Chains A and B, each alone.
Chain A
């Protein structure tokens, strides 16, 4: 058994466990994304990042093995900021690689992701133009559809 501290609390887990196993056994939840239980793992997304307090290092909990004397913080300002940054970076890189649910479910077949991408940097006119490629009365369509879209997204 390996003894370590999670959020200041002593715990012990069997050798070879990952930090995620140890954290879960404490009943604490850590978000994961590329991790899939019982599959050979290849850490890439860095969403499950936690902090090793003594070294101040951020490590992916899903595949870091426990070692004796570790002191793990599963959630503080820095860790949350790191997860947010990782997610932001992933999203910034994620254009056109899969179909967004809003687009799949849009009954009016509008290119919503593209409209949003134009809206982001404030190109409102470009976004409207994109919308009008399909619908001359985009304003009213938008008002009508917002309800049904919200349902399909949830």
Chain B
């Protein structure tokens, strides 16, 4: 029986040693962990050795060697979730499942609880994912509700769908539903089902269209109605229950009974006025509407062209919007050299973070000798707080495929790969579907568009290691090894995957290629600054009113992004700093917010473009905690190869832990700075070289906060070991805090001022959240 299992597996993957990651992924998908018995079988029946297998299985965080519960609860601890206190949610889930310290699975074996680096739904922070179901805006209090909702969904009946029925007769219009990950996480699947049901019941002839990410992730789920011959109207934060009302408003029901039903319904609606609209905040994507116009107005969509208007997988639509125009132009008009030159002249720089000129990279790769040459699209977006690549892959699969085709034509590459992060299942699904469709339409494979040019690509799924975003580590992992980076030179463009020249380009870089090729150069170079041309996509999240995915011209100031596009900091708090570039970037403080966003200016102020995560921080955020957060991330994700990164980050983290728990000394600050400098200088790859940036930039701009911690006080009350919860005299004795306290630290004393037992208090913040009088003090 089991024998057959590995046999079947190898039929799909083959038995060569570089297949180890796909093999392990297939086993884990079925069993949720890697059973030892199967691993023995794998080693006996393939080229994979036990040493290699264990090396790989223990390196990548995706793989588990222990059995798990029936369902897996993942708590996102990305930057945006961290600043919105995901740790408290994690602790609350642990209490809900009655987990003892060190345990991750409940006694009944129903749930396994774990942290995950970033689910890429930063605007819905904090985010919890149970199996495939994502919950946004979770707080400690709503944890029981989340589990209840999941169980309902899991045990409930499958939803009836009325899909894909073509109708004749008068065409009434189009309904667009956003189906990016954020939208899906906020319930757009349910909305879609309700729409289908309503359309079916009212016998409407409308085209229901799934569109990719609109970027307005703070307003999801989005539903856009485009009545035939009229202005489109966008509804935001739509609930499944609202759908009927919305559709009724725009489309006349067909058929006698529905007309009567609908008019009755309208009558009821008139009487009840706005009650039906609870939860639907404001609609109208009238670009004239101020908050929408300022969010979209400053943006220039190039990588995200036609966002919210095209169905990610509809190839006819993509073609109707200049799709595949640049590759056919390349094939018919331009020589490969001309294409490389045009990319060089456009000034495009790699969007993965370091900003190396793309044209130069292509040229070196083109000139590298070799008959087999690979192109890899780097979709291993590991930065917590960044989700641009996910959104581009999910929403514009054809554009990225086209970008890669152009790159292949220009550089003489022979094979292509998409390296996509394990945490992005929807992106993998969309890209593989898009590849299939492209093959069937002659855009991929042999003799593309009858030009004689042949090229094909496939997907390689990452296994959960941040370091694999580094190109040499990515190549090691594709070869079936631990993701250790190797020394450059030789650069991958000369000697990369399986020792062949390999071009690794970031997803966003490739997404900009088709626009550059098919337009005049000026149309691209008009945007941006002297040394940073074009636009950059940012994931705007954290303490911001209008978070989401934005594409802005290079050179726009940090302040314009936060105030004009993002609508400032919510809840009347003060904007303190913005963290740019994730664990390799730094903080730009409020007083430097006029810094233009381009590669060089950001570097000057100690931050970095990185991959483009922008996490806004307000005056309740502790900068030492932010530094500690990023360092604990890089410390865990350090591959462990070289001393400076492996041990240097750990020593720095030790010092930060001491400081945030009140045991730091002024001498520690000097030591921290010294270690940071050496780690930067001595590390082998980009991870270690940039890991100290968050520490250095916070030390530079917020040194007084470090000093305050050393003096025993966390100015923002975020560092648990330095704070104390107490209840002041304004307490009305309502007992709400006593009821919610998970550790019975507050005695049940109605009508009397409550007292917190400090020995029992675990600082979970539940009492503060529930207190109606704001009587809970944190100092």
Binding site for B on A (CB under 8 A): 42-46, 49, 58-60, 63-65, 67, 82, 85-86, 89-90, 92-93
Q: B651: which of A42, A49, A67, A92 is its contact (CB, 8 Å)?
A: A92
Chain B residues within an 8 Å CB radius of A92: 647, 651
Q: A45 touching B643 by the CB < 8 A rule?
A: yes
Nearest residue (CB) in B for A49 is B682
Nearest residue (CB) in A for B647 is A89
> Could you show 19 A-B contacts with beta carbons less than 8 Å apart?
A43-B487, A43-B641, A44-B641, A46-B642, A46-B643, A46-B684, A49-B682, A58-B681, A60-B684, A63-B487, A65-B489, A65-B490, A85-B678, A85-B682, A89-B651, A90-B643, A93-B646, A93-B647, A93-B650
* Known A-B contacts A60-B684, A82-B682; A89 and B643 likewise in contact (beta carbons under 8 Å): yes
Q: B487 touching A46 by the CB < 8 A rule?
A: no
* Binary contact track B232-266/A, C-beta < 8 Å → 1, others 0: 00000000000000000000000000000000000
Nearest residue (CB) in B for A89 is B647
Q: Nearest 6 A-B pairs (CB), nearest first?
A: A89-B647, A93-B647, A46-B643, A85-B678, A86-B643, A89-B643
Nearest residue (CB) in B for A87 is B643
Q: A90: which of B484, B641, B647 is its contact (CB, 8 Å)?
A: B647
Alpha-carbon distance A92/B675, docked complex (angstroms): 13
Chain A residues within an 8 Å CB radius of B484: 42
Which of B646, B648, B651, B682 has the most A CB atoms < 10 Å from its CB? B682
B13 to chain A: closest CB distance in Å? 27
Q: A86 touching B682 by the CB < 8 A rule?
A: yes
* Binary contact track B637-657/A, C-beta < 8 Å → 1, others 0: 000011110111011000000
Q: A44 touching B642 by the CB < 8 A rule?
A: yes
Binding site for A on B (CB under 8 A): 484, 487, 489-490, 641-644, 646-648, 650-651, 678, 681-682, 684
Nearest residue (CB) in A for B674 is A85
Which of A59, A86, A89 has the most B CB atoms < 10 Å from its CB? A89
Q: B489 touching A67 by the CB < 8 A rule?
A: yes
Alpha-carbon distance A128/B648, docked complex (angstroms): 31
List 15 additional A-B contacts (Cβ < 8 Å) besides A42-B641, A90-B647. Answer: A42-B484, A43-B641, A43-B642, A43-B684, A44-B643, A46-B682, A58-B682, A59-B487, A60-B487, A64-B487, A82-B682, A85-B644, A85-B682, A89-B651, A93-B646
Chain A residues within an 8 Å CB radius of B681: 58, 82
Alpha-carbon distance A49/B643, docked complex (angstroms): 11
Q: A89 touching B648 by the CB < 8 A rule?
A: yes
A35 to chain B: closest CB distance in Å? 13
Alpha-carbon distance A67/B487, docked complex (angstroms): 13
Alpha-carbon distance A133/B308, docked complex (angstroms): 74
B120 to chain A: closest CB distance in Å? 33
A19 to chain B: closest CB distance in Å? 11
Q: A82 touching B650 by the CB < 8 A rule?
A: no
Alpha-carbon distance A60/B684, docked complex (angstroms): 8
Q: A86 touching B644 by the CB < 8 A rule?
A: yes
Chain B residues within an 8 Å CB radius of A82: 678, 681-682
Interface of A, helix, strand, loop or mixed by DSSP: mixed
Chain A residues within an 8 Å CB radius of B641: 42-44
Chain B residues within an 8 Å CB radius of A60: 487, 642, 684
Nearest residue (CB) in B for A57 is B681
Q: A89 touching B644 by the CB < 8 A rule?
A: yes
Alpha-carbon distance A85/B490, docked complex (angstroms): 27
Alpha-carbon distance A65/B642, docked complex (angstroms): 18
A36 to chain B: closest CB distance in Å? 17
Chain A residues within an 8 Å CB radius of B650: 93
Chain A residues within an 8 Å CB radius of B643: 44-46, 86, 89-90
Alpha-carbon distance A10/B647, docked complex (angstroms): 36
Alpha-carbon distance A54/B681, docked complex (angstroms): 15
B641 to chain A: closest CB distance in Å? 6
Chain B residues within an 8 Å CB radius of A90: 643, 647
Nearest residue (CB) in B for A51 is B681
Q: A46: which of B489, B490, B644, B651 is its contact (CB, 8 Å)?
A: B644
A95 to chain B: closest CB distance in Å? 12
Chain B residues within an 8 Å CB radius of A46: 642-644, 682, 684
Nearest residue (CB) in B for A63 is B487
B655 to chain A: closest CB distance in Å? 12
A115 to chain B: closest CB distance in Å? 22
Chain B residues within an 8 Å CB radius of A64: 487
A76 to chain B: closest CB distance in Å? 14
Alpha-carbon distance A67/B494, docked complex (angstroms): 14
Alpha-carbon distance A15/B379, docked complex (angstroms): 35
Chain B residues within an 8 Å CB radius of A49: 682
Alpha-carbon distance A63/B489, docked complex (angstroms): 11
Chain A residues within an 8 Å CB radius of B646: 93
Chain A residues within an 8 Å CB radius of B684: 43, 46, 60
Chain B residues within an 8 Å CB radius of A67: 489
Chain B residues within an 8 Å CB radius of A86: 643-644, 682
Nearest residue (CB) in B for A86 is B643
A121 to chain B: closest CB distance in Å? 12
Alpha-carbon distance A71/B20, docked complex (angstroms): 41
Which of A42, A46, A49 has the most B CB atoms < 10 Å from its CB? A46
Alpha-carbon distance A86/B641, docked complex (angstroms): 13
Chain A residues within an 8 Å CB radius of B490: 65
Nearest residue (CB) in A for B689 is A57
Chain A residues within an 8 Å CB radius of B651: 89, 92
Alpha-carbon distance A93/B644, docked complex (angstroms): 11
Chain A residues within an 8 Å CB radius of B642: 43-44, 46, 60
Alpha-carbon distance A49/B678, docked complex (angstroms): 12
A50 to chain B: closest CB distance in Å? 12
Chain A residues within an 8 Å CB radius of B644: 46, 85-86, 89
Alpha-carbon distance A85/B643, docked complex (angstroms): 10
Alpha-carbon distance A14/B681, docked complex (angstroms): 29
Which of B644, B647, B648 has the most A CB atoms < 10 Å from its CB? B647
B487 to chain A: closest CB distance in Å? 6
A21 to chain B: closest CB distance in Å? 15
Alpha-carbon distance A98/B170, docked complex (angstroms): 82
A114 to chain B: closest CB distance in Å? 19
Which of B487, B642, B643, B647 has the most A CB atoms < 10 Å from its CB? B643
